[in-house]
Chains A and B, each alone.
Chain A
Amino acid sequence: MAEGYNPERREALKILGAIGTTCAFPFAGDELYGQQVAAAPARKFLTQPEFAMVSRIADLTIPQTDTPGAVAAGVPAYIDYVVSTNKGFQELFRSGLAWLDGQRFLEMSEERQIALLTPISAAVDAGKDDAPQEKFWRAMKGMTADGYYTSKIGLVQELGYSGNMARSGFPECHEH
């Protein structure tokens, strides 16, 4: 919701917005009813090394706990798909991942990986997105959250959403 108001980010959020924003606030507009994109096979844009890097960051963002993490939920393929549909995302990911590759990110220990990402994440949480790494992190984390929490593992197993139930009536609240 909040991110939809920054005009600079509007373009980048077109696809992300189709999932969260409109459903949370159904009044957001009829224009999104038309946003249907055909189903896609895995890995459409990212190279194999890029895909590995995205997989690693996704699992650091949403790791396996008592439920599976982002990679097990198919988040990297979802991110690859979303990135493949938008030129802005493609540039952002290509350069962001190249920067991480230059840091030899995949060769680092988990502690060092987390240490590298923590200040970037904190800057983004504080509302910054000036640096390319910040822009990349904002998009990467957003897509990871979207991909995970719209997956069956994320939505049903982790969050406990039961899908649609047919009720004979709406139950009174009994907890008070």
Chain B
Amino acid sequence: MRAKLYDVVVVGSGAGGGTLSSHLAQKGLDVAVVEGGPKVNTRTDFNTHAMPFDFANRHIPTMKPGKPGFDSERTRGLGGKTMLWNAVAWRLSQRDFKGRDHDGAGENWPVDYKDMAPYYDMVEREVGVCGNLDHLEDLPDGIFMPPAAMKCSDLIVQRGAAKLGVKVIHVRKATLTQARRTRPACHYCGNCMAGCDVVAKYNSYDVQMVPALKTGHLDLYPDSIVREVMISDENRVTGIKYIHRSTRAEGEVRGRAVVVACACAQSAALLLMSKSSRYPAGLGNSSGELGRNFIPHFTGGIECFLHELTGTPATNDEGFLDHAYVPSFMHTRKRDYARSFGCQFNYQNRRAVGWARTLPGFGKAYKESVKARYPAYLTFAPYGEMLPNKASYVDLDYDRKDEYGLPQARRHVSFQENEKKLFAAMNQWGVDILKSAGAEIHSVGPEPRTNHELGGCRMGTDPRTSVLNQWCQSHDVPNLFVVDGSAFPSASEKNPTLTIMALAARTADHMAGRFKKGEI
């Protein structure tokens, strides 16, 4: 059974690997998904509804006792990061795909919005995305379920932003606001990022892979940590080698094509680790660009208290975390930097009161001031687009090996002039919007922090400056594909997951066509 030759071996099971593998299996191809973490039962294994005082250190563990998974920075477990994500689901716009044409900086994608639109449609229909039709040039509308109502605090921010000519819209999330097939609507418990125990929030395993398993064309290899993508003398990848997570036994899974989709920096790291005589600097790295052009999002983060809500009763309105969003508005305004930012806000979890540490004073007055501010607390996080630069890349740290003896992925991030200007502008806009909404600013993150890893195996039209072509296919090795955030040539300021899913659906379509013609 395990000596089987699959059509496609997919490394990773998150938004990219989960979407791609399930689409291929539904099209009748035999697919193996090799996942570094265990199989997790969404409905029973996460500590979704725990309270901090249930634990001695007041830190709620991700998993219930005795339930393995998601125990490392690599977020290993079937479903990958979609199990713990916040489900924000934007389409990129034509300006995002062709940013270089607009401001001369960064890189264009090898696709246009019109190439991606059918696949955005496809995945939105498939998984369910809620949102409002906002008719914004830089944030294309999609096929939406009704949005969740905004919180009172969102409306306060919306009124403040409006005074500055800035729009606040309903967030768009891959979370159901209406029941759909076997999935109920969201019940707004506020713990989306602790594992959604009813699957109202999309995760790739329950929503896509479980139905695909019924086709008989999908096999899962959980707990299998991939250490190498194998290549033949004929310049074709032949499968992968893995180490079993608990037994440490080594094994292979063979296929006619291999798709690497194991989370951005890790995907770049796996290819860098897969050295051969033909590719001594890493598989598919004849350009020397593998691991380069690492462009994660960056953010600061502002904490504030809304005066209108200070001293009111506790709101208990966590909902599905953020219900509103400030879409990019600087693309069309005068500015001294390239690209733009968008702001996620109001997604604090009310079980966490870390801000009380730095509220001044002590004693009765202090206790009262914490209580008064508790319903008024709000976090505001602008996300900026980073441009590729030579000093930002992923490589392997052979001095730091993990417990399986594999070198760790090492991320190098250097913020350049454009990022510094953008960061200053987004902090200033954030503070201005919040003050306009009548807020007491508690803290402003003084340094950019990265999030949403992107780049490292970028797509492009020129094999000398990119790793993949527009089909997420290696320029060097025709049956090797990479489908996750690492393929992004430019980041945009928008949360990337829906675009990863659309890319995966598009790549699956392309691969299935090539298989049909006997080209793979």
Given A61-B363, A161-B316: A155 touches B353 (CB 8 Å cut-off): yes
Question: How many whole Å from B22's CB to the nearest CB in chain A?
Answer: 24
Question: How many whole Å from B171's CB to the nearest CB in chain A?
Answer: 12
Which residue of the partner chain, among A23, A29, A173, contacts B351 with CB atoms under 8 Å?
A: A23
Interface size on B, residues (CB 8 A): 80
Digit string of B350-376 for contact with A (CB within 8 Å is 1, else 0)? 111111111111111011101100100
Interface stretch among A46-54, A88-96, A97-105, A139-147? A139-147
Chain B residues lying within 8 Å of A173, measured Cβ to Cβ, are: 149-152, 154-155
Q: Is A72 at the interface (CB under 8 A from chain B)?
A: no
Q: Is A106 at the interface (CB under 8 A from chain B)?
A: no
Chain B residues lying within 8 Å of A61, measured Cβ to Cβ, are: 362-363, 366
Q: Nearest residue in B to A35 (C-beta to C-beta)?
A: B59
Question: How many whole Å from B29's CB to the nearest CB in chain A?
Answer: 31
Quick one: which of B191, B353, B451 has the most chain A CB within 10 A? Answer: B353
A2:B445 contact, CB within 8 angstroms:
yes
Question: How many whole Å from A127's CB to the nearest CB in chain B?
Answer: 10
A25:B379 contact, CB within 8 angstroms:
yes
Interface members, chain A 20-35 (any B CB < 8 Å): 20-31, 33-35
B53:A1 contact, CB within 8 angstroms:
no
Q: Which residues of A contact B (CB under 8 A)?
A: 1-3, 5, 15-31, 33-40, 60-63, 65, 69, 78, 81-82, 85, 114, 117, 121-122, 125, 141-142, 145-147, 149-152, 154-155, 158-173, 175-176
Given A33-B70, A149-B353, A165-B316: A26 touches B193 (CB 8 Å cut-off): yes
Q: Nearest residue in A to B159 (C-beta to C-beta)?
A: A176
B75:A16 contact, CB within 8 angstroms:
no
The CA-CA distance from A22 to B354 in the complex, in Å, is: 9
Which residue of the partner chain, among B58, B84, B323, contacts A78 with CB atoms under 8 Å?
A: B58
B189:A152 contact, CB within 8 angstroms:
no
Chain A residues lying within 8 Å of B316, measured Cβ to Cβ, are: 160-162, 165
Given A2-B443, A155-B353: A121 touches B361 (CB 8 Å cut-off): yes
Which residue of the partner chain, among A16, A25, A122, A165, contacts B357 with CB atoms under 8 Å?
A: A16
30 contacts between A and B (CB under 8 A): A1-B379, A16-B357, A19-B352, A21-B354, A24-B348, A26-B86, A30-B73, A34-B71, A36-B61, A37-B56, A39-B56, A117-B362, A121-B360, A125-B361, A145-B370, A150-B52, A150-B352, A155-B353, A159-B314, A159-B374, A160-B314, A161-B350, A161-B374, A164-B49, A165-B187, A167-B188, A169-B148, A169-B149, A170-B319, A170-B323
Question: How many whole Å from A123's CB to the nearest CB in chain B?
Answer: 11
Chain A residues lying within 8 Å of B72, measured Cβ to Cβ, are: 30, 33-34
A145:B357 contact, CB within 8 angstroms:
yes
Question: How many whole Å from B280's CB to the nearest CB in chain A?
Answer: 31
B149:A152 contact, CB within 8 angstroms:
no
Given A16-B354, A145-B370, 4 new contacts (CB under 8 A)? A33-B84, A39-B55, A146-B58, A170-B320
Chain A residues lying within 8 Å of B347, measured Cβ to Cβ, are: 26
Chain B residues lying within 8 Å of A152, measured Cβ to Cβ, are: 51, 53
A29:B73 contact, CB within 8 angstroms:
yes
The CA-CA distance from A176 to B188 in the complex, in Å, is: 22
Q: Nearest residue in A to B313 (C-beta to C-beta)?
A: A160
Interface members, chain B 58-75 (any A CB < 8 Å): 58-59, 61-62, 70-75
Which residue of the partner chain, among B62, B152, B366, B381, contacts A27 with CB atoms under 8 Å?
A: B381
Q: Nearest residue in A to B447 (C-beta to C-beta)?
A: A5
Q: Is B401 at the interface (CB under 8 A from chain A)?
A: no
A23:B299 contact, CB within 8 angstroms:
no
Given A16-B357, A26-B86, A121-B362: A81 touches B56 (CB 8 Å cut-off): yes
Q: Nearest residue in B to A152 (C-beta to C-beta)?
A: B53
Q: Nearest residue in B to A28 (C-beta to C-beta)?
A: B449
B357:A24 contact, CB within 8 angstroms:
no
Chain A residues lying within 8 Å of B321, measured Cβ to Cβ, are: 26
Given A121-B361, A155-B51, A167-B187: A20 touches B57 (CB 8 Å cut-off): no
Q: Is B216 at the interface (CB under 8 A from chain A)?
A: no
B-side interface mostly? loop
Q: Nearest residue in A to B51 (C-beta to C-beta)?
A: A163
Chain B residues lying within 8 Å of A62, measured Cβ to Cβ, are: 362, 366-367
B191:A1 contact, CB within 8 angstroms:
no
The CA-CA distance from A85 to B449 in the complex, in Å, is: 27
The CA-CA distance from A31 to B75 in the complex, in Å, is: 9
A24:B303 contact, CB within 8 angstroms:
yes
Q: Nearest residue in B to A175 (C-beta to C-beta)?
A: B152
Q: Nearest residue in A to B383 (C-beta to C-beta)?
A: A27
Question: How many whole Å from B378's CB to the nearest CB in chain A?
Answer: 10
Q: Nearest residue in A to B153 (C-beta to C-beta)?
A: A173
Given A23-B349, A27-B381: A38 touches B58 (CB 8 Å cut-off): no
Q: Is B255 at the interface (CB under 8 A from chain A)?
A: no
The CA-CA distance from A28 to B379 in the complex, in Å, is: 13
A164:B70 contact, CB within 8 angstroms:
no
Which residue of the partner chain, among B57, B152, B351, B355, contacts A37 with CB atoms under 8 Å?
A: B57
The CA-CA distance from A162 to B189 in the complex, in Å, is: 11
The CA-CA distance from A35 to B63 in the complex, in Å, is: 11
Quick one: which of B354, B357, B368 has the most chain A CB within 10 A? Answer: B354
Chain B residues lying within 8 Å of A167, measured Cβ to Cβ, are: 187-188
Given A3-B357, A152-B51: A65 touches B193 (CB 8 Å cut-off): no
Q: Is B446 at the interface (CB under 8 A from chain A)?
A: yes
Q: Nearest residue in B to A36 (C-beta to C-beta)?
A: B61
Given A1-B303, A5-B445, A160-B314: A24 touches B355 (CB 8 Å cut-off): yes
The CA-CA distance from A69 to B193 in the complex, in Å, is: 31
Q: Is B485 at the interface (CB under 8 A from chain A)?
A: no
The CA-CA distance from A162 to B49 in the complex, in Å, is: 12
Question: How many whole Å from A145's CB to the nearest CB in chain B?
Answer: 4
Quick one: which of A18, A20, A122, A142 has the most chain B CB within 10 A? Answer: A20
Quick one: which of B57, B59, B84 has the most chain A CB within 10 A? Answer: B57
Given A15-B57, A27-B451, A150-B353: A176 touches B155 (CB 8 Å cut-off): yes
Q: 8 nearest interchain CB pairs?
A: A20-B354, A2-B443, A160-B314, A23-B352, A149-B353, A150-B52, A173-B152, A150-B58
B189:A114 contact, CB within 8 angstroms:
no
